[in-house]
Structure 1
C-alpha cells in the first residue's frame, strides 16, 4: 500500500512510561537464541516486562503497530479510542519534500511510541514529480533527503526508516531496475550517515506477494545497510480484482508464509542474514459478507500464528483502504475491533515496554 498514516498521543489506560534511550540496551544472547526457526514459543508471563534495544528489537514478545485511516492526528486518536490500548508504533509515509518530523510524527515520539517512516520518491508539494531510483542514486534529491535525515536525528530516539517501500511492486517498474534501487537505497543510507543520523533503524519492506517472488532478490540492498527485513500479509479475498470471493480467503499465517518460505529457502543464497529481526509492516483482512465473524477471527488468530515464527518481532495492522474495492478498515467496526483487541491484550503482544 502507499498511503500516509497518522498519530497523536492518547492518554488512557495501558499508557506506557517512556524510558530514556540509554536504558534500552539489551543483550544479544537472548535474541540470538531466537534467530532460527523453531517450535512454537511460549507467550510471556503476565509479570514479564520486556524492553527494546537501540535497534528496536523487543527482548520478548511482539510489537503491534497501526496505520490509521487518514494521515492526521485525529485519525489515530479515533483509532486509539476504539482500541483496548494504544498501539506500540505508527507507520507513516512521506514524500521527498515533506517535513520530517511533522507535527504528527513528533506527537508519536512525544507519546513514547515508536515511529516507522517510509520515504518515497515523489516530490508532491513542489512539482508532483516522481524521481527515478537512478536520480536518487545520483544525488539529485540530496538536499531534500539531508533535511529529512537531520529532522529524524533531531528526534533523538531510534526511528525505523524505509526508503521507497514495495520496490517489487509491478507499478514501480518505471522507477528503474533492481540495481538502480539498490544503489539508491545505499546512497540514501550514506546521506543519512553524512547528516549524523545515527538513530535511523533501516527496514527493507517488500510486498511479499507471490507474483513478485521471481524478482524480489534484485532489490536486496545488503546486510550492511539493512537492520530489519519486512513484508506484508494481506487477505484480499479477490478484492484487488474488483469482486470479493470468500473462497479465496487466506489466513494471516498463509499470507505471511508466501515470502517467509521464499526467504527461508533463498535468503542465504541471496546474501540476506536470516538472523535479522523480521517485521510484517502491513497486514489486514477484508470482510466475508456471508460470515460476519470471520474477519474478527482472522485478527484473533494472529497471536497463535506468531508463536510459530519467533523471528517476527513486529506486526503492523493496516486500518485503511487498499487497491480497487479493498477495504481493510477495522476501528470503526466494533465486532472486528473486538478481534483486534484480543490481539492487543494478548500476553505475546502486550508485554513490551516501548521507549
Structure 2
C-alpha cells in the first residue's frame, strides 16, 4: 500500500496508511490575492468581488481619476511595459473622442497599457471604485482589464477578462472593486496576451471613479495631480494563466524552449513577467532582487511575500507548451534526478533561470543512508553545490525527499544535518530544502509520533525551506469522500503553524487533484493556492506525471489544464535580464 497523499510508491517494504481528509466548498471568486505575507492577521475565507447592497441610498460615481484616459494629450500619463518591441502611440479614430492609444508588437510579447503613475496613490479600506475601458484589435486576442491594489508587502489583483475578434467594433470592459487595506495605491492596466509581430491593441475612454453612496459625505479620493511624461519602458509583464521519487528519465530531458519557440539563452528578451508596481519598488537585499509582484527575495530565492507557482511535468518534461498557453513562465519548476544525473540537473537549472523560473531540484543519494550519514556523500554534495553556485540566480535543492518509511529516520536526519552546511557554505545562492509527505506529520494514524516534525528535524541546522507533498485524492479508488478535500484547513494550517513557530519558510513541493475534483469544484486549485498564500506559504508546485503516481494527477484534461493556467497567470516570477 502507498501513502495516498504521496505521488509515488515508497521504496520501503513498509506500508503507508491512508489518511483522512475534509470537505471544503467555497464561492466562485473574481479576486486573486497574489501576496499576503506580513499581514497582522490571516483571512480564513475568500473574498467575493461583487457589489454589496448599500445600507441606504444609491451608489453614484465621483469625479474622473484617470489622467488622459481619452488620449487627447497623446500618450501623456501612460506607458507600455514592453519597451521598443511594443511601442505606444496616439492613434485615430477613437469612439468618444478623436483619439485612442495603440500598442503594436514588433516581437512576440504581451501588450500592456500601464498608467505611468498609479491612478490612485493612497486610499482607504472599503473604498469602492468603478473601472472601465474600450478595447478593440485588428486580430483575434484575449486579455484583461486589471487593477492591482498595492501596499508595501501585499498585491491584490482585481480583473475582468475579455476576448476580441479581429476587426470587431469597440468592446467595453468594466469591473468594480472594494479596497481591502488602508494606504493602498491602485495600478491600472489593460493587457492582451502573447501578441505576435504585427498584432495590436487599441484602447480608448479609460476611466476610474470612486463610487460614493448618495446621502453620505465620504472624503473623495484625490486623482494623480500632474500628468507625467512617457517614462522609460520597463520589462514585459504578464497576468494572463509533486510526488515521486526522483524519476529517472529514459533519455536526457528535452531542452526547454520558450513559449515563442526560440531556444533559451542566458539572456532572453521575451520572457513574460507580471508587471512591477508603478510605485517605487523596495530596494533589493544584497545578492537578491525584486519579484515581478514587487516583493523582495533573498539571494537564495526566499520571497518576503507572495508565492511562486509552477509544476513538475512528466519525466522532467519541457514546460514550454503549458507556459505558452498561459502566456507566462512557471514561477517554480520541480525536477527529479538520480545521483548520477548531476550534469543534466545543472543544465536544466541553468535553462530555468535564464527564463525566469526558480529551479527546485530533488536528488536521490549515491549510496546508502548509513554511508551518507558517515560522510560518504560529502564530496558529491559539495560538487553539486559548487556547480549550482556558479549559476546566475537562486536554486532550491533537496536530498532524498519524502523519506518516511524508506529507512532509519535517525540516519536520514543525520544526512540532512551533515549536507546542509556543505551546500549552504559552498553556494550562497542555493537554498537547502527538506521535503516531507505532510500526511505523516499531520494525519499518519500513529505515524505522527515516528515522523513528527520535532522528532525528525535536524535541530541546530539551518534549513532554508521545508516542503510538503499533499494531494487531493477525491475521485480516486482510495477516497472515501463525497466532495473534494480542503488541503488548506486539514494540512496547510497545522504545517504553517509549525513553520511560524520555528521560523522556517514552508512550501508545497507536490500536489495534485483528479478530473472529478476539477468538475466538482472548478475553483479548487485557485482556492488552494490562495490558502497557501494567506498562510505565508512561499511556493506551490503541481505534479503532472504518471510516474509512480497513486492517482491521476495529469494536466491532460481541458478542465484541469485551464484551471492550472488560470492560477499561473499573475503569479510572481524572478526577473529576467
Aligned counterpart, 1:20:
none
Gaps of 5+ in 2: 1-242, 261-269, 275-282
Aligned counterpart, 1:67:
312
How far apart, in 2, do the equivalents of 1:50 and 1:263 lie? 20
Aligned counterpart, 2:467:
230
Query: For 2:334, which of 80, 88, 91 is the aligned residue?
Result: 91
Q: What is the RMSD of the two structures over their aligned residues, measured on CA atoms?
A: 3.3
Q: Is contact 1:213-1:262 (8 Å) kept?
A: no
- The residue matched to 1:186 in structure 2 has which SS? helix
Aligned counterpart, 1:314:
539
Where does 1:139-158 land on structure 2 (aligned, <5 Å)?
139-158=375-394
Q: What do residues 54-73 of structure 1 show as CA deviations (whole Å, max 9, x unaligned)? A: 2322233211121012223x
Q: What do residues 62-116 of structure 1 show as CA deviations (whole Å, max 9, x unaligned)? A: 11121012223xx322332333421111111122222244432221122232111
Query: Which is higher, the Rg of structure 1 or of structure 2?
Result: 2
Count of matched residue positions in the alignment of Structure 1 and Structure 2? 301
Query: Is residue 507 of structure 2 the alignment partner of residue 279 of structure 1?
Result: yes
Query: Is residue 485 of structure 2 the alignment partner of residue 250 of structure 1?
Result: yes
How far apart, in 2, do the equivalents of 1:55 and 1:292 lie? 34
Q: Could you say which structure has the higher strand fraction?
A: 2
Q: What do residues 178-212 of structure 1 show as CA deviations (whole Å, max 9, x unaligned)? A: 22112111221243356x22222111211000214
Aligned counterpart, 1:16:
273
Gaps of 5+ in 1: 18-22, 29-43, 124-130
Query: Is residue 381 of structure 2 the alignment partner of residue 136 of structure 1?
Result: no
How far apart, in 1, do the equivalents of 2:487 and 2:479 lie? 17
Q: What do residues 217-253 of structure 1 show as CA deviations (whole Å, max 9, x unaligned)? A: 33211353201122123112373xx556552631332
For residues 262 and 67 of structure 1, do their structure 2 counterparts lie closer, same or farther at Cα, with a shift above 3 Å needed?
A: closer
Where does 1:258-277 land on structure 2 (aligned, <5 Å)?
260-261=493-494, 264=497, 267=498, 274-277=502-505
Q: Is contact 1:296-1:337 (8 Å) kept?
A: no
Runs of at least 4 residues off by over 6 Å: none
Aligned counterpart, 2:361:
117
Query: For 2:285, which of 1, 21, 25 is the aligned residue?
Result: 25
How far apart, in 2, do the equivalents of 1:110 and 1:48 lie? 19
How far apart, in 2, do the equivalents of 1:167 and 1:154 lie? 29
How far apart, in 2, do the equivalents of 1:299 and 1:71 lie? 22
Q: Is contact 2:466-2:507 (8 Å) kept?
A: yes
For residues 198 and 102 of structure 1, do their structure 2 counterparts lie closer, same or farther at Cα, with a shift above 3 Å needed?
A: closer
Q: Is contact 1:67-1:318 (8 Å) kept?
A: yes
Q: Is contact 1:63-1:313 (8 Å) kept?
A: yes
Query: For 1:200, which of 407, 430, 436 is the aligned residue?
Result: 430
- Shift, 1:280, TM fit: 1.0
For residues 106 and 263 of structure 1, do their structure 2 counterparts lie closer, same or farther at Cα, with a shift above 3 Å needed?
A: closer
Q: Is contact 2:332-2:539 (8 Å) kept?
A: no
Q: Is contact 2:329-2:355 (8 Å) kept?
A: no
TM-score of the superposed pair, with normalisation by structure 2: 0.47
How far apart, in 1, do the equivalents of 2:352 and 2:554 lie? 21
Of 77-86 and 59-68, more deviation after overlay is shown by 77-86
Query: Is residue 558 of structure 2 the alignment partner of residue 334 of structure 1?
Result: yes
Higher relative contact order (CA 8 A, sep 6+): 1
Of 248-257 and 203-212, more deviation after overlay is shown by 248-257
Q: Could you say which structure has the higher helix fraction?
A: 1
Where does 1:210-225 land on structure 2 (aligned, <5 Å)?
210-211=443-444, 212-216=447-451, 217=453, 218-222=455-459, 224-225=461-462
How far apart, in 1, do the equivalents of 2:383 and 2:421 lie? 14
Q: What do residues 309-334 of structure 1 show as CA deviations (whole Å, max 9, x unaligned)? A: 1x21111111122656511111x322
For residues 223 and 287 of structure 1, do their structure 2 counterparts lie closer, same or farther at Cα, with a shift above 3 Å needed?
A: farther
Aligned counterpart, 2:526:
300
Q: Is contact 2:372-2:378 (8 Å) kept?
A: yes
- Shift, 1:135, TM fit: 0.8
